[in-house]
Structure 1
Amino acid sequence: MSTLVSRNPVTGEVVAEHAAADEATVREVVTRARSAGLWWTSRRPRERRDALLRWKSELVAGSADLAAVIRAETGKPTTGALLEVMLAVEHLDWAARNAHKVLRRRKVAAGVLAMNQRALLEYVPFGVVGVIGPWNYPVYTPLGSISYALAAGNAVVFKPSEYTPGVGQWLADAWARVCPEPVLQVVIGDGRTGQAVVESDVDMVAFTGSADTARRVMAACATRLTPLVVEAGGKDALIVAADADLDAAAGAAVFGGLGNAGQTCAGVERVYVVADVYDRFLAAVTEKASAVRPGADDSAAYGPMTMPGQIEVVRRHVSDALAGGGVAALGGTDSIRAPFVEPIVLTGVAEDSRAMREETFGPTLVVNPVRDVEEAIRLTNASPYGLAAAIFTRDKARGLSTARRLRTGAVSVNSVLGFAAVPALPFGGVGDSGFGRVHGADGLREFSRPKAVTWQRCRAPIDLMRFDASPRAVRTALRLFRMRHGRGH
């Protein structure tokens, strides 16, 4: 069995060495998950809830240790790591406490034609869910799938990013301390391990990563018709109306664009500002961003680029934007000093540049002027991505109407990432940002199969579900059918 080495992205020092799971190991883990899943599904909803809440308590009690592992493997400041853990715990708590209410068997109306039937709708778990997690938020993001899959009654096989294997192992070890069965297991490795999970006997896959990798995962799932939920990044826009609180909007843009070194799928990458307030807004953003400092110490606003290859992506995007006529209001290519990238604010960037079309995933902001909010909506929706967006305006009606028209899975009005801390809201995108939802009631249902059940409580007064139905029954049924549906309203 080969070894996977995790390293600190700042120093390059070895954090830990882990045994990498090969295809045979993955098969064994999935087999164990199958048995454990049957046990887990047979537990009463209250028992599953209590186990999940005990796991939550382990995460809370060990939050400092978990944050230290996150920091060691991603380089992000401790404050950012702890915030991630806190958000993840909120969602875990909500999933545990609401699963039974959302998924319990319930009666539905049978309708006129089936008035002799009792109709029930219930949700049943898939069985074993394979979760492939990212490195940028190695707790918060995968737990959006893991927590809801477990709460829905599934067993989970979790493959963390090869950059954050220790985080995944910590989560699985914490589960083992509160549950006697391997309902949650971790398999560590690179892309080959992830491929083995996708091609194994799992009943569903939840994937977070790039759109290109998602397409390959989807193709692999297609061979077995394995259901799939995908969160594949974004190119999220923030719209600033002429009546916006410019100071608040500028602060949100800087936090949304630079937080976690810009390595946030739902972070801000594009800003469209109505021309009347463009100069004032750009000055405010530049001033606030210039005060933000990356570094390896805990007092830094954000840490390094966790994945070394992402530095060159940032460089290409910035260079392409400047070569196409864009202007650097703050920083530029000289701001890229591996493993850190200092804040970069660009303006006047062409809409067909890489910096506007492709996910940068770095601490850069593009601030472009627009004629009005209508143009901002059009440009926002022109992207193949559609994960999240934000609108700043003092007009509540305008904010809500704009949110409705944006082709995204989530929108924040007068904030950024507001939805991330609301467990009852679903999260997911459209287009190249993926499909399916985690979080909230929709997230619980995403990891369940709806099952329809009927039973006959009495004989049908007009029985057509037989080969020897009488002509009189047919005539009566047709007469009633025309009376009910033939009037056009």
Structure 2
Amino acid sequence: MDAPAPAAATPLADLQPTLDALRAAWRDRRPDAAQRRDDLARLRAVFARRLGDMADAISADFGHRARPESLIADGMTVLSEIDALRRHLRGWMRPRRVGAGWRLWPARAEVRHVPLGVVGVIAPWNYPVNLALIPLATAIAAGNHVYLKPSEHTPRSSAFLRELLAEVFPPGRVAVALGDADVGAAFAGLPFDHLVFTGSTAVGRKVMAAAAPNLTPLTLELGGKSPAIVCPDYPLDKAAARLVTGKLFNAGQTCIAPDYVLVDAARRDALVEALRYEVRGRYADAGVRAADYTHIVSDAQHARLTGLLDDARARGLTVLPLLDEVSGARALAPTVVVDPDDDAAVMREEIFGPILPVIAYRSLDAAIAFVEARERPLALYPFGERAQAEAVLARIVPGGVTVNDTLLHFAANRLPFGGVGPSGMGAYHGRAGFDAMTKALPVLWQSRIAVTDWLRPPYARIAKLVDLLAR
């Protein structure tokens, strides 16, 4: 099936009325457990049936994207998350009894997770379906209605999402806004009950500013330069294989891709050779390169990445393409930059492409200090035996960690996914997302007889009771 054609932008004047309609529908009939489970089941069924359409749309947007990467990253992850949400939903919805404390005896206390209302979702272009549907499904599981703004940089994927969601949900439950940065800015300024944004740190700051007048609660999944640290005790061949997988999946256009790798100085050149060996072993065949090597999403992104390499060459740095040839107008060869200085563009910007700086360190402490001196990353990848990996984890505070591999913590449904500081705030996936998109409502049930029946003047008559309560 051909990818859907890009659709017309949503008029700015329609944004607030659409939000109002979603909120009115939610207030009229708040989704109960049965409706939430049914919504998720229908979403899963229709999405599973249309995985091929999804892959076609994404590939058309990228110029070429390896089909297995779309099926894994934008297909499997969504299906797995929906399955986890449906499996745990009743338990998460159940009120949780907590102790009220002896001072309030015989009152009872509980916490209920109640839906917020309408959740806004602003999704990026790099995983245009995954990063739209996982927060959307989580919001549905939490009992909310959803207003989605997909990326304008992947217009066919956005059109696919609108078609898919119109097939699954009535318009009062899920709506989709399409358009460019102006639509996105107006969308971020709407008075949502919660807003989920995934994208760059720079745009995240703008989203936070737009949401501030409404005091809209935010989940911000941002970027940053996620480091890998190869400890001196870890085999280089295994580290190289897993680094290449994490770096070249989706041609490096992944917010948690390893952005640079630190390795002990004595093994720096050996790691570079191990990386070259891995890349050539995977992509030596021209047919494999054509089928399985994903392109850069746009001319602008391709130009930005080649600019990073031009800057490195102008500084006299060693720039090593790991493949002699790649085909396609927006294909960019995997490339290593050796020991860039802090002022190099590859060290100042989040790379978001198949370029990997390899930096030598004198000691593991020096490597840890190098990462600590920079903004807290979205992901961290220590490669080492238990003691050395723990030494890294004891000092660095990232958004998430995979030890001795890359990317995989994102796919673990029971692990919260989120950043810290410039790499984001809040978290979702599994229970963390359900909690973020509900209100933890405290409820105290008072007894017919309670201590407060005596807590009134004249206090002199209950002085001993006051002394007891104030202990």
Question: Could you state the TM-score of these two structures normalised by the residue count of structure 1?
Answer: 0.88
Give unpaired runs (5+ residues) of structure 2. Answer: none
- d(CA) in 2 for partners of 1:63 and 1:332? 31
Pair 1:45 & 2:33 matched:
yes
- In the TM superposition, what are the counterparts of 1:403-422 in structure 2 within 5 Å? 403-422=393-412
331-340 vs 107-116, which deviates more? 331-340
Matched, 1:373 2:364: yes
Q: What CA distance in whole angstroms lies between the structure 2 residues aligned with 1:324 and 1:261?
A: 25
- 1:346-399 Cα offsets, whole Å, 9 max, x none, are 111113322123201111001111122222222223222420011111x22432
Corresponding residue for 1:199?
Answer: 189
Within 2, Cα distance between the matches of 1:35 and 1:115? 40
Does the aligned pair in 2 maintain the 1:123–1:445 contact within 8 Å?
A: yes
1:313 aligned partner? 304
Q: Specify whether residues 457 and 56 from structure 1 end up closer, same or farther in structure 2 by C-alpha distance, changes over 3 A only.
A: same
CA shift, 1:71, in A, is 1.3
> Which of the two has greater helix per residue?
2
**1:300–1:379 distance in 2 versus 1, CA, 3 Å:** farther
Match of 1:339 among 330, 354, 372: 330
- 8 A Cα contact 1:296 1:304, kept in partner: no
For residues 108 and 162 of structure 2, the distance between their equivalents in structure 1, rounded to whole angstroms, comes to 42
Q: Deviations over 1:306-359 (max 9, x none)?
A: 032222322332233344453123369999985221111011111332212320
Q: Distance in 2 between matches of 1:40 and 1:55?
A: 20
SS for the counterpart of 1:361 is coil
| Match runs of 1:402-441 below 5 Å | 402-441=392-431
Residue 469 of structure 2 corresponds to residue 477 of structure 1: no
Correspondences of 1:157-236 after superposition (within 5 Å): 157-180=147-170, 182-236=172-226
Which whole-Å deviations, capped at 9, do the CAs of 1:217-275 have from their partners, x for residues lacking one? 11111111111111111211111111112211101111212221111000011100122
What is the SS of the residue equivalent to 2:350?
coil
Rounded to whole Å, the distance in 2 between the matches of 1:196 and 1:465 is 52
**In terms of mean alpha carbon deviation, does 240-249 or 298-307 score higher?**
298-307
Task: Look up the equivalent residue of 1:158 and give its one-letter code.
Answer: L
Match of 1:30 among 19, 39, 46: 19
In 2 relative to 1, CA 321–381 (structure 1 residues): closer, same or farther, beyond 3 Å?
farther
* 1:391 alignment partner in structure 2: 382
Structure 2 vs 1, CA of residues 168 and 150 (structure 1 numbering), >3 Å: closer, same or farther?
farther
SS at match of 2:292: coil
- 1:29, distance to aligned residue in structure 2 (A): 2.0
Amino acid at match of 2:411: A
Matched residue SS, 2:103: coil
More off after superposition, 403-412 vs 223-232: 403-412
Secondary structure of the structure 2 residue equivalent to 1:177: helix
Aligned to 1:56: 44
3-state SS of 1:450 partner: strand
Instruction: Describe the SS at the equivalent of 2:163.
Output: helix
Between the two proteins, the alignment pairs up a number of residues equal to 467
Deviation at 1:68, TM superposition (A): 1.2
Q: Match for residue 240 of structure 1?
A: 230
Q: State the percentage of identical aligned residues.
A: 34
How much has 1:426 moved relative to structure 2?
Answer: 0.8
Task: Name the SS of the counterpart of 1:18 in structure 2.
Answer: coil
* Mean Cα deviation higher: 133-142 or 177-186: 177-186
SS at match of 1:451: strand
Aligned: 1:19 with 2:8: yes
1:112-191 equivalence runs, <5 A: 112-180=102-170, 182-191=172-181
Q: Is the 8 Å Cα contact of residues 389 and 403 (structure 2) preserved in structure 1?
A: yes
Deviation at 1:469, TM superposition (A): 5.1
Moved more, 378-387 or 434-443: 378-387
Aligned CA RMSD, in angstroms, stands at: 2.7
Provide, for residues 162-212 of structure 1, a one-character-per-residue CA deviation record: whole Å limited to 9, x for no partner. Answer: 122332333343333344453122111111111222222322211111111
State the partner residue of 1:107. Answer: 97
In structure 1, distance between residues paired with 2:328 and 2:368: 35
Residues 404, 138 of structure 1: alpha-carbon distance in 2 compared, 3 angstrom cutoff = farther
* Partner Cα distance (1:375, 1:156) in 2: 46
Report the Cα distance in structure 2 between the residues aligned to 1:211 and 1:464, rounded to whole angstroms: 55
SS of residue matched to 1:120: strand
Give the distance between the partners of 2:380 and 2:458, measured in 1 at CA.
58
Contact 1:322 1:349 in 2 (8 A): no
> In structure 2, what is the Cα distance between the partners aligned to 1:296 and 1:450?
53
Q: What pairs up with 1:250-261 in 2 under 5 angstroms?
A: 250-261=240-251
Paired with 2:28 and 2:66, the residues of 1 have a C-alpha distance of 40
1:329 alignment partner in structure 2: 320
Q: Supply the distance in 2 between the matched residues of 1:356 and 1:335 (Cα, whole angstroms).
A: 25
**C-alpha displacement of 1:48:** 1.0
Task: Find out whether 1:69 has 2:60 as its counterpart.
Answer: no
Question: How far 1:119 sits from its partner (Å)?
Answer: 1.1
Gaps of 5+ in 1: 1-12, 483-489
- Relative to 1, partners in 2 of residues 1:194 and 1:299: Cα closer, same or farther, differing over 3 Å? same
Alpha-carbon distance, 1:401 to partner? 4.5
- Contact kept? 1:319, 1:333, Cα under 8 Å: no
Larger strand proportion of the pair? 1
Measured in 2, the distance between the counterparts of 1:322 and 1:464 equals 80
The answer on whether the counterparts of 1:15 and 1:73 sit within 8 Å (CA) in structure 2 is no
Distance 2:335 2:372 in 1: 24
- Give 1:15 deviation, angstroms: 6.3
Determine helix, strand or coil for the equivalent of 1:223: helix
**Secondary structure, in 3 states, of the residue corresponding to 2:445?**
strand
1:24 is matched by which residue type in structure 2? A
Distance in 2 (alpha carbons) for counterparts of 1:99 and 1:473: 47
Please tell me the residue identity of whatever aligns with 1:224: N
> How far apart, in 1, do the equivalents of 2:50 and 2:22 lie?
25
Secondary structure of 1:141's counterpart equals: helix
Residue 462 of structure 1 deviates from its aligned partner by 6.8
